[in-house]
Amino acid sequence: MTVSMVKALNDGLRQALSDDPQVLLMGEDIGRLGGVFRVTDGLRKDFGELRVVDTPLGEAGIVGAAIGLAMRGYRPVCEIQFDGFVYPAVNQIVTQLAKLRHRSAGRISLPVVIRIPYGGGIGSIEHHSESPETYFAHTAGLKVVTCATPHDAFHMIQQAVAEDDPVVFLEPKRHYWTKGEVDPASALPLERAVVRRAGTDVTLIAYGPTVPVALEAADVAAQEGRSVEVVDLRSLSPWDVTTVRASVHRTGRAVVVHEAALSHGFGAEVAARLQDEEFHFLEAPVVRVTGYDTPYPPSRLESDWLPGVDRVLNAIDRSLSY
């Protein structure tokens, strides 16, 4: 079936609610309204207001309450309305949610999912266009995943709900309305990266909102006679270094693309691991194409600020000319 990412997430959450009576959804405007992006549309009507809960406007309270519910055996799925709204909840996420398993020597499991629409490209401003992934990927005890297709959205949200560890589930909001094929019978493991396009000259490593950018750049590069492989990481913590290493083994070159700022971004982790473990196979330094080390810009500037196809192609040129 062909559906939008929003519909795929809605279907996945519906399936999770049907499969396990301990699953419940909570967040701002997710019940009566169905969420500002309509990801939870219709779920309160079908599962009731005790399982699809409209919360007060307080992210720390949402995550704090979810931690308590998880300690009592529930599997809460929290919606943070926009990426930049998660910051009031960071204390709960980092000091409690991520740490309680370790602090209790394994006695307490917190199977909480925190859904966050993230990234730019929708003509909005700071707090509504941010990429906070490395705050969470840097925190031991959390899993951090991000979908790039409706198929992955449908399966990964269900897999995240079934996890016994807390999962930060990042949804690339600018692709919410992009449609794609969903095969309900076929799912990759949650933590596995996938080669979206095979190639031999250079590996483009992307995740979430930059996967379509990388694929488009690969198309253009192919017209110029360059064979570009595209790897979709899907999971940032843990991340599938094996698949990335295998790809770089084949191509000898790597370009990492993400919207988050350059310095201390996930691309730095990828570059460090590749030089550490694949140094003798690299034909060129790992190149990063990212947002800049600034707050998110006004919407009229975002198309230049975000890593677009031309900047990715320039990076491919740079790698191949080394």
**Residue in 209, 187, 180 with CA at minimum distance from that of residue 4:** 180
Residue bearing tokens 């790597």: 254
Single residue of 2, 104, 263, 303 touching another protein by CB under 8 A: 104
Per-residue DSSP letter, 85:
G
Here the tokens at position 84 are 């930049």
Binding residues among 144-163 for another protein as defined by CB under 8 A: 163
Single residue of 45, 102, 249, 264 touching another protein by CB under 8 A: 102
Binding residues among 267-286 for another protein as defined by CB under 8 A: none
Query: Should residue 165 be labelled a site residue for another protein when binding is judged by CB under 8 A?
Result: yes
Single residue of 191, 216, 283, 317 touching another protein by CB under 8 A: 191
Single residue of 241, 246, 262, 309 touching another protein by CB under 8 A: 241
Nearer to another protein, 141 or 199 (CB): 141
- Known catalytic membership, residue 128: yes
CA distances, 232 to each of 123, 139, 206, 239 (Å): 25, 22, 5, 11
CA distances, 36 to each of 27, 167, 173, 184, 213 (Å): 11, 21, 11, 26, 25
Query: Should residue 73 be labelled a site residue for another protein when binding is judged by CB under 8 A?
Result: no
Q: Directed axis angle between helix 210-223 and helix 309-320, to 10°? A: 60
Nearer to another protein, 99 or 175 (CB): 99
- 20 Cβ partners below 8 Å, 6+ apart? 75, 161
The nearest distance, CB 165 to another protein, in angstroms, is 5
Here the tokens at position 295 are 């707050």
Catalytic residue among 128, 151, 155, 175: 128
Query: Should residue 185 be labelled a site residue for another protein when binding is judged by CB under 8 A?
Result: no
Active site residues: 128
Contacts with another protein, residue ranges (CB under 8 A): 101-102, 104-106, 109, 140-141, 143, 163-165, 191, 238-239, 241-242
